[in-house]
Structure 1
Amino acid sequence: MKIVFFVHCFFPNHFYGTETYTLELAKNYKIMGFDVHVVSGIFTGEAAAPETISHYTFQDIPVTIIDKNKLPNSRVKDTYYQVEMRPILEQVLKTIKPDIVHVTHLINHTAALLEVTSELGIPTFATFTDFYGFCFNNKLEASNGSLCSGPSRSRNNCIACYIKDANYIESDNKLLQWLIKKGQFPRAAQLSNLLRKHPNLRHGSFDGLIEDLIRRPDTLLSLYSTYKTVIAPTQFLYSAYKNNGFLNPMQKISFGVDINRNSKSEKEKDTKPIFGYIGQIAPHKGVDILINAFCRLPRGSAELRIYGPKDQDAEYMETLFTKAKGHNIHFLGVFEKNKMEEIFNHLDLCIIPSRWYENSPLVLLNSLATHTPVVVSDVAGMTEFVDVGTNGYVFERGSVDDLERVLKKIIKNKDNLKELSLKTNYFNTTKAMAEKTIEVYDAIL
């Protein structure tokens, strides 16, 4: 049986959670005797490939890549349904001839893929790793920074998120431009939804933009009916899709991780605890919250190691460097996957201070698997893995004060970190994850 994965981007240039999940499934399927293939994309603006469709191999997995530089988005609708992708996707599928399509992300391919697989009669499954199916920014974060439950009936909250992300909307309405300048995005969205009805704007580009945003959730919901079954890695993500009208069968299968699960090396008594952060260095990840809280701790009471790309957001990074100076905080960049075990072995605590709804981040699972207790913000998608006082602690999302409180408590009772480590585990492997996923196919086919 041949199984093809569709993912928005892939190794070696992209290596975060969804890409890793896709790779691990493909590798395990291959070991199990299945024929596997990955179809990925090059984002518009990245280094272009010579052809629209090109091929390479990564870790013995054949990869086909579609260059979106050749098919750039011309409007918002193209970000979720781009009709021009249909012939390209059809060509790719007719060449590979899969028995099953498994989508791990639709960005770059867009939901046009689901029309093509339906017309070709290819059973299609998916794993949802974020909220792309109903949320404009994929993160369920409202324009004012609060957490969101999904599109409102008017879609004004989706329009507000677009305006915030773009920080611009083409209009000569002075009040609208003033609201945007002042960061009044919800009010700007309400006004935009009213302005589009003006006779001079109907059926123009402004009206089309708002219409694209309004139609997005329903368009995706309709096309998502193609999926035979969908896998959700967390109960929260499962519930979020159900609460936003997704009716297809869903199964919860937690992500698996492969890492040495041996006990941590013994440390000398009275050694300063080492705290760590591993991941993207960007505002939605809350690294500034962590640094601000850490800087309030007694000098010399702990060390903070931050692993992640230093070039992701230059302005944000500069503010972090400035704040961290003189506080025993070390920015250590990215590392090869085979260094993961060694890095966690030296950490006494892993901190994940995200501002948005995380969905079973692999760094959390690897931390638990290596007996490294965690401190996470109280957002669903992470808290379901934390038993407070047993394998970690939880703090109020976005609160420097509350994270400071938790870290001071840990430092005051630092011997408790050893006890936490002994109780911290995560047993699910990628092999077990792959076997459960194959069972999902078998139940339908």
Structure 2
Amino acid sequence: GCRRGCLAQTPGYEDRMGANMRIVIGVHHFPPKYRGGAEWRAYRTASALLKAGHDVLVVCIEKIDDAQAKPLAVKEDVFEGVPLQRLAFNLAAAPDPLQWEYNNEWVGTHLLDLFDSRNTDLFHLMSGYLMTGSALMAARQAGVPTVVTLTDFWFLCRRVSMLRTDGTLSALPIDALRCARCLGEEKRRFRLAARFLPDLMNRYWKAQRRNVNYFEQRWSFLRDCLVETDLAISPSKFLRQMYVDSGMVARRMEFLRQGHSFGSLQSTDLQKSPSDFLRVGYLGQIAPLKGVQLLVDAILQIPSRQIELHIHGDSGMHPQYSNALSLAARHDPRVVLHGAYERSQLTSILRDLDVVVVPSLWYENSPNVILEAFAHDTPVIASNFGGMAELVDDERNGLHFAVGDAADLAKQICRISEDPSLLDRLTQGAAATHPPTVDAEIEDLLGLYHLAMHRT
């Protein structure tokens, strides 16, 4: 990864970096309607670059089912000082909707014109999903230096998460036949057949050359897009290694952890409010792959009444899943659903939590919530793999539990509940973990932009 100040000695660095750069940031979605980790990261990056005097425009996708867009509608907007273009199109009306998922020529054509008209110095793609590889192709055609943030597994996996339709995790190497099966099994009838007649279905999918070809073409196109990209940034070493091992690589592959933007937290902000209960918290999206149901199941297995579970997050995206959680909450007063929250409420939410749980069933990358918890001196219990295990140091600033295992998660929560000295020790460990600030991240990011713009 890059070290602050390492590039300051490069000849011409100060002149070029001090200059006003014209930067376009591409991301799949953007607030206020969409509030995931990548969306907020794009917002924080754009805000910080604007503050540093650069000319920044964000381009995001607002709708993919807009029947009015012929073929692409562009809406100019400003969100909290960040200028942006919100694009809308109707994916179902594309010449080949499946291919358009990874190579959206409407987006590519729009960006090609935009790069030219803005005389763009650098394009930073913060997520391939929905923007697609055509965004990178457009930058290459326009001769614009390009940086990609590897937010997730989108380049490797159509489902973004490497989590298969049947709930199992996919691993390297990427196999087009396995991907074709996964796509087919999104239809329930194929999912049931796969469970009861696996050999027959194996032969069936081999015969479905069209789907297998689709995944071979997707892989080859996106690999071509990435291999010509000047620099790819991964916020976790785990994800960076996955991409390197898969052979899907840019010219340079750098590690740079995302920063948090809590300014200077006062000691009063970090002081926990008093409670006779162990307050366990979940913050983030209420979605199946996030493992929220697993956390609820773990709490239901614990007999102690001295525990509360506080779930903070928007339940609108997966209503059926959220309803199941609401049902559990109605049957057990220890489980409290608080609904969506604003980032400005994070400090007060974390003051009322003793420990945060990140029970994801997929690998994750570099979850914001873990960095946010540490910034607020709060230990984390996390699934013992992927980007979560990289951030949470087991027994020092949190605990690991066996991924997908509610009984093991319950056991770790009980350990903390029954041993106040363990909670104290983990809290001290969390307080001693200093996640980078956004300012430090942006300083390093500008250094990486410089490397991308002065490719050798």
SS at match of 2:123: strand
- Between 75-84 and 359-368, report the one with greater CA deviation: 75-84
SS at match of 1:354: coil
Question: 2: distance between equivalents of 1:183 and 1:68?
Answer: 37
Equivalent in the alignment of 2:14: none
Aligned 8 A contact 1:134 1:221 in 2:
no
Question: 2: distance between equivalents of 1:432 and 1:82?
Answer: 34
Q: Which one of the candidate residues 216, 226, 229 is aligned to 2:228?
A: 226
Is structure 2 residue 380 aligned with structure 1 residue 374?
Answer: yes
Equivalent in the alignment of 1:203: none
**Paired AA for residue 138 in structure 1:** V
- Between 310-319 and 248-257, report the one with greater CA deviation: 310-319
Q: 1:333 to 1:16 in 2, by over 3 A?
A: same
SS at match of 1:366: helix
Q: 1:6 to 1:213 in 2, by over 3 A?
A: same
Q: Which one of the candidate residues 35, 39, 42 is aligned to 1:15?
A: 35
**Paired AA for residue 434 in structure 1:** I
Aligned 8 A contact 1:149 1:240 in 2:
no
Question: 1: distance between equivalents of 2:109 and 2:422?
Answer: 59
Question: 2: distance between equivalents of 1:142 and 1:87?
Answer: 32
Aligned 8 A contact 1:41 1:66 in 2:
yes
Per-residue displacement from partner, 1:293-337 (whole Å, max 9, x unpaired)?
A: 101112422111001112222221222222232241110001111
Equivalent in the alignment of 1:34: 54
Equivalent in the alignment of 2:339: 333
Is structure 2 residue 113 aligned with structure 1 residue 108?
Answer: no
TM-score, reference length from structure 2: 0.87
**Paired AA for residue 397 in structure 1:** V
Equivalent in the alignment of 2:4: none
Q: 1:53 to 1:3 in 2, by over 3 A?
A: same
% identical aligned pairs: 26
Q: 1:167 to 1:219 in 2, by over 3 A?
A: farther
SS at match of 1:367: helix
- Between 24-33 and 89-98, report the one with greater CA deviation: 89-98
Equivalent in the alignment of 1:319: 324
* TM-fit CA distance, 1:110: 1.4
Q: Map 1:26-425; keep pairs closer than 5 Å.
A: 26-45=46-65, 52-69=73-90, 72-73=93-94, 74-153=96-175, 155-167=176-188, 180-181=192-193, 183=195, 190-196=202-208, 207-248=209-250, 249-259=252-262, 260-263=264-267, 264-268=270-274, 271-324=276-329, 325-424=331-430, 425=433
Question: 1: distance between equivalents of 2:67 and 2:105?
Answer: 23
Aligned 8 A contact 1:30 1:36 in 2:
yes
**Paired AA for residue 123 in structure 1:** P
TM-score, reference length from structure 1: 0.89
Question: 1: distance between equivalents of 2:211 and 2:63?
Answer: 21
SS at match of 2:396: coil
SS at match of 1:423: helix
* TM-fit CA distance, 1:137: 1.2
Q: 1:55 to 1:261 in 2, by over 3 A?
A: same
- Between 64-73 and 249-258, report the one with greater CA deviation: 64-73
How many pairs does the alignment contain? 424
Aligned 8 A contact 2:62 2:87 in 1:
yes
**Paired AA for residue 56 in structure 1:** D
Per-residue displacement from partner, 1:350-396 (whole Å, max 9, x unpaired)?
A: 00100001111111110011000000011210111112222110000
SS at match of 1:80: coil
Question: 2: distance between equivalents of 1:234 and 1:430?
Answer: 16
Question: 2: distance between equivalents of 1:76 and 1:238?
Answer: 27
Question: 1: distance between equivalents of 2:185 and 2:154?
Answer: 17
Q: 1:227 to 1:33 in 2, by over 3 A?
A: same
* TM-fit CA distance, 1:93: 2.4
Aligned 8 A contact 2:272 2:353 in 1:
no
- Between 182-191 and 299-308, report the one with greater CA deviation: 182-191
Equivalent in the alignment of 1:202: none
Structure 1: segments with no counterpart, 5+ residues: 169-176, 197-206
* TM-fit CA distance, 1:181: 4.4
SS at match of 1:428: coil
